Structures are given as structure tokens and as C-alpha cells.
Structure 1
């Protein structure tokens, strides 16, 4: 599953500065009202083209497989109590963006994020982070009706964390490393980065030692950065090759992490150890906000990256009253440290998620409490976020601090 330098750059969303914004584009969004919406962007006009009552009681996250044109939706309903559950639903996508349900299955409760990964033969799987369910689970793809999970990792804590929100383990995301050999899951409740190596044979996840994050940080979302240089190595344990995994270890790799409770951003150097796991060393902690201090009640939510530019959405800072903020950060090519570049308008309240299109010239912001999808311009030369291009109300607004309103938005790319 080795990725070429060109493939890595494409994965990171880099695009030619000479390309022009698409005339028409498709997006999908979820709302905690139990609907998945299809949106169409034509120039500067964003419109609702379809909606579907689906994905359980609390549609929370969308993951799109562009190769198979299948969309996956995670339902956040349920808890760690086995008498409750969430769901995972797969949809085929028509040329007009309409969705047709292929299969659905019950899951551990609280599914808030998912990621698709592969084994060495290109067979696909999906991993889900279960916030209230205190678990990470995986499923074989293509998804079958009422399919059982492939694996389930359930977590427990002996002691509560720094704040009531850390009453139990709360995995908030799963994201793939640049080689496709590892999955990382930030656990907001346990202040851990949980790490799994992926078996090239059968796609099974193998637990690696978790990495401690500063007590009370509440890690939420993260991204990998890589310089794209390759070196072939094998995983080994006591001199023996394990899982028959051979992957491309990049010359320079880092993880950038945003912490919801501590209001910080951290960077880690990543080493591909011959033990078959990842070795992380923290190199920086900063507050990703103007003046180096997060406003009271404000929290970082989502982080995205294009090249050496990072973007973080800030919920409830009211930086552009009555709207919240997006912040842009620069990465130093010298040591990988990040510094705040500027702050821009999110054009709504509680920007829970956002997505940057493949061309790198448009950003779709999902404002949860406002229940709006906002399209803003991104300058591909400077990386700065600019003016609002389009806006659409998607479902009813939600109350700040509750699981109401818009929950996710992605591009059909």
C-alpha cells in the first residue's frame, strides 16, 4: 500500500495554482434532526437539491469513498450501554447527488467520526470512533445489511479526568497516517492518542502503546503532515516480521492535534519504529488564537491542512459577533512549529466541522448552532480565507452547547 510522492501530495489536497474554481460542485451535510442533505453549488449559488430521512436518530458524520461512489453515515445515538446502539449506513450516489440506501447495520453507540482504510491487497474497511460508546470499531466493506462489526475496542478508565466531560473514554476521531499503515484516535475523555497498526493481510487493527496527552487537554481532532520522502522498512518484533507489513516510512512526519478542553494545539514528531508501532514526541503546545488566549467558553473543534497551512475552527468565541471564528496557522519549514497567521469570520455560530475542496480554493463551513453551510473563498497563493461566496440554511438552528443543529458537511470529491 505504498503511496508515491505524487499520491501523498494529492491526499494532502494540494492543487495547481493555475486551476480555476469549479462552476458546479456537490456537497452533503448531516443534521441532528435525522436527515442527510444534498447540496449543489453553482457559481455563487448554493441550493438544496435533495434530503433523506435516514442514518438513525442523530446523523453525525459522513465519509465518502470516491472510488466506489459510496457515502457512509455514522449515527451518534446510543451510549456504552449495550442495550443502546447507533448505526452505520451506506448509500450509492447518483449523478445528481441523490442518495439511495444500500445497507445499514447497528453499531456501538455514539459514532461521531469514521475513516476508510485498506489492507495490502486493497480490500477496504471502515473504522468508527464512538464518543459516548467509549470504543473504536471496524467493519468490512462493502457494508452488508445487518453486518456485525469486524473488531471492537472498548475502553475504560480507573479515574475520572480533569473535568466532568472526561467522565469516561471518549474517542472523537479516527484518522489515517500518510503510509496507510496506522490509524490514530484522539480520546477526549482519557487524554490519550490511541494508535493501531493495520495488518496488510486481513485489515485487522493491532493496538500499539497509547500516547499520553497533557492531563485535561481533551484531544479532539488531528492531522498528519509529511514531506513525502520514502524509505521502505518492515514491522518487526523480537527480530521477527509481524503482520507481514511492509510500508513506506516517510522521512519527516508530524501530527498536529487540537485539544477541545485545554483549548490548545500540539505538534508531535512521528517516528516509524521497527517494533511496528509509532513513536511520538511532543515538540510544541500553543493556543491557536489571537493574543495566545482562548476566550472563555470557546473551544477548538476541527483542524484541516493544505500543504504547510493549517486551519482550525473555533466554537463560541464570538470573534465576529454574532459569528464565531476560523483561524489560519503557518508551519515553519525549519522545525515544524506552527504560528498564528490570522483569524477570519466563520459566518455563523459553532463551526463544528469544515471541509476544503480538492482545488484548495473553497472552504465549506458547517455551523452547527446556526444550521448553515457557508462557502468561503480560499486564496491558494497566500492560504488566507476570504469573503463568503454562498450560504444556505440546512434544517433548523440548534441551541449552543447541545447536540442539535448541523453536524457535518463534506464535498463530493
Structure 2
């Protein structure tokens, strides 16, 4: 009996639960027609050819509600807006409603865990907005508008004014987090779930000239990993969930100075935390690579372990499939999406030759 178990156990791998997933792509540029759709085979890592499922101008960021019934896109329908869609079979998107942002195009949007409202960040407008979500998934007219003020000025060409770049919530939904590239800060708001409103709470100060872009919580919620676009680095903050306060700990460069010297332009674009909590990934535009870090579970400190070429140009977005076995990288300037297998012990990436699809300027990858 013991010998039989010995031979059966090795066969139980992450691939045993293989399935076909819906994948949506936000796009930009003159060749883009809107939101594209593909399917992803978690056993083979194969993407199907992409097709258009919703026509909307430059849907730069797309997201879903927690139950994955509705998709929300920050794009343009005559004017800059947030559009709501019902997700159907085979990636079909049924338009429900749209609401004008009234302050320029949104760089990012996130749905609150309660599904009662979503928030947006307007990079050019320097503002954050709240939109109610109705019971049928449609989005209502803007209900709150908050303007950020100032600018760190450390990098004059990029930090002359506030530039909110990402939106998200604490794991318990009590606080909203807005990394602001222009302020070198994460602006933290207290959430009133019943009213669907935000109120000023605290600020997390990043490194001078870092240019905060995106952030992620550690799996246990004790740390925040903040991606600094301008310095290509990740700053780790400890997080007090009860108080909604942070403390800056360490900053880890994504690339060596020697690697950055090969390109005239370099900037960070996206950061991800693997489901096992051990691996963190960030994408580097210009160098066109993905950096792998190992996260110390005690201190939250990150250590660079590998840098992998994305086999595409200008990786604006990367994402992990729900199984944690695969990473997808979108090349904005190469119009490609490449697939990488993840080594579950080391976190290292292996490019899947032949698993490449073409999409016009893919800048957001969303698994359902």
C-alpha cells in the first residue's frame, strides 16, 4: 500500500486540474478596435487567436467584479468613460452602460470587494473618482471626485503635478490605495462602504523621484510592494491593517546600472505577486525584460534572482494565470503576447516558443 502511494503522488501536479480560461486584452493605438478575447489552455500554455468582443476607444485598463460576472473598461466612447459589460459565454460582452469620467481618460480602475462601487485614477487630470455600481452590474454617474495637489518636482518633466496611476483596496476593503507618480506617494483613503465614499486617511512616502506606478500586497497582507516607474525599483512597506498605516522598509532596484545603460529609455510598468507568496515579478520597458524577486516572508525584503527577456517590445503589462503556472507578457510596441512557464521551485521563467499571438498594442491582460 505504501509503495502504491509512492507512485501515485508524483502524478498529482498543478497541471492535473487543467482547464480552458477566458482572457481579455485591453489595447491602445490606431490599429486597436477595443477589447480583444482569447482562450488559454492551462495544460499546454496555448493561447487561441484573438478576436474583438467590444468596440471601445483605447481601453487601457480592464477589470472585473469579484464574482467575475461583469467587466469594466476605462476607455473612450465619444468621451473618456468607464464602460460596464456583462460577460457571457465564449467571451461575449454585452454593453450595459457607461459613465463619463469628466476629467480625462482613466489610467486604472478597481472594483470594491462589496461590488457596490468602483474607483478610477486619472493620470492627466490628477484626480480620483468614485462611480456607483447598480445591482445589474451597470455603472452610474460619477458620485465623488477628489483632486490631488502638488508634485514632488524631483523629476521636473514627470513630477510637475499629481499623476495618480493605480487604484486598489486593502484585503479587507476598508482602505483605498492610490500610488501617485507625481507626488512620490501612495495616497491612502478610508472607505465608507455604506455610502460608497472615500475620505483622506494617510500617506506612504516613497523614494524621491521614484515615481510610484502600481502596487501589490503580499499574500499575508503584511507588506506592500510599490513599483517605482522612474527609478525601476520596488519599495517594500510594512502594513498595519487595523490602522491602515504603512512604514517604508527597503527599496530594491529591478535592474543593474549596467543593464539600464544599454537603453536610452527605461521604465517599470507592472508588478505581480505569485500565489505562493514567494515570487514577485516586475516588467521593465526599454530593457524589455521581467525581473524575478524572492520575497522574504519575515522582513518583506526583495532579492533579485533572475531577469528574463520578454521576446517582445515594451512590456506594458504582465499577468499570472490563476493556476500560477504561467505568465503572459504583452508587448505594446511589438503587438504580441508571449507565454512563459513558471518554475514552481525557483520562480524562473521559460519562454514557450510558438505560443505567441498578435494583438494591436496589448496593454492590459485580464484572466477570468
Q: TM-score, normalised by structure 2?
A: 0.86
Partners of 2:66 and 2:115 within 8 A in 1: no
1:361 and 2:325 correspond? yes
Q: Distance in 1 between matches of 2:115 and 2:313?
A: 40
Which residue of the partner structure matches residue 329 of structure 1? Answer: 293
1:335 Cα shift? 1.8
Q: Aligned in 2, Cα 1:123/1:351: closer, same or farther, shift over 3 Å?
A: closer
Q: Distance in 2 between matches of 1:146 and 1:224?
A: 27
Q: Distance in 2 between matches of 1:188 and 1:31?
A: 22
1:66 Cα shift? 5.1
Partners of 2:211 and 2:231 within 8 A in 1: yes
Q: Aligned in 2, Cα 1:280/1:70: closer, same or farther, shift over 3 Å?
A: same
Match of 2:142, SS state, is coil
Partners of 1:131 and 1:170 within 8 A in 2: yes
1:223 Cα shift? 0.7
Which residue of the partner structure matches residue 126 of structure 1? Answer: 118
Match of 1:209, SS state, is strand
Which residue of the partner structure matches residue 303 of structure 1? Answer: 271
Which residue of the partner structure matches residue 195 of structure 1? Answer: 188
Which residue of the partner structure matches residue 87 of structure 2? Answer: 93
1:191 Cα shift? 1.2
Which residue of the partner structure matches residue 173 of structure 1? Answer: 166
1:380 Cα shift? 2.3
- State the 4+ residue runs in structure 1 displaced beyond 6 angstroms: 143-146
1:285 and 2:285 correspond? no
Q: Aligned in 2, Cα 1:45/1:281: closer, same or farther, shift over 3 Å?
A: closer
Partners of 1:161 and 1:190 within 8 A in 2: no
Q: Distance in 2 between matches of 1:76 and 1:367?
A: 22
1:411 Cα shift? 0.9
Partners of 1:373 and 1:409 within 8 A in 2: no
Q: Aligned in 2, Cα 1:305/1:129: closer, same or farther, shift over 3 Å?
A: same
1:182 and 2:181 correspond? no
Q: Distance in 2 between matches of 1:158 and 1:348?
A: 33
Partners of 1:356 and 1:364 within 8 A in 2: yes
1:28 Cα shift? 0.7
1:270 and 2:227 correspond? no
Q: Distance in 2 between matches of 1:26 and 1:226?
A: 24
Q: Distance in 2 between matches of 1:126 and 1:200?
A: 11
State the superposition RMSD in angstroms. Answer: 2.4
Q: Distance in 1 between matches of 2:258 and 2:188?
A: 30
1:349 Cα shift? 0.7
Which residue of the partner structure matches residue 64 of structure 1? Answer: 64
Which residue of the partner structure matches residue 9 of structure 2? Answer: none
Encode CA deviations 1:292-328: one digit per residue, 9 max, x unaligned: 86444211110000112100011111xxxxxx21110
Q: Distance in 1 between matches of 2:14 and 2:358?
A: 32
Match of 2:202, SS state, is coil
Q: TM-score, normalised by structure 1?
A: 0.77
Q: Distance in 1 between matches of 2:129 and 2:298?
A: 38
Q: Distance in 1 between matches of 2:197 and 2:364?
A: 28
Which residue of the partner structure matches residue 34 of structure 2? Answer: 35
Partners of 1:76 and 1:112 within 8 A in 2: no
Q: Distance in 1 between matches of 2:17 and 2:314?
A: 27
1:137 Cα shift? 0.7
Which residue of the partner structure matches residue 245 of structure 1? Answer: none
Which residue of the partner structure matches residue 26 of structure 1? Answer: 22
1:185 Cα shift? 0.8
Encode CA deviations 1:50-108: one digit per residue, 9 max, x unaligned: 304533x321001022515111110279xxxxxx9511111111211121211112113
1:204 Cα shift? 1.6
Encode CA deviations 1:271-307: one digit per residue, 9 max, x unaligned: 245xxx5222111012112468644421111000011
Q: Distance in 1 between matches of 2:46 and 2:346?
A: 25
1:186 Cα shift? 0.5
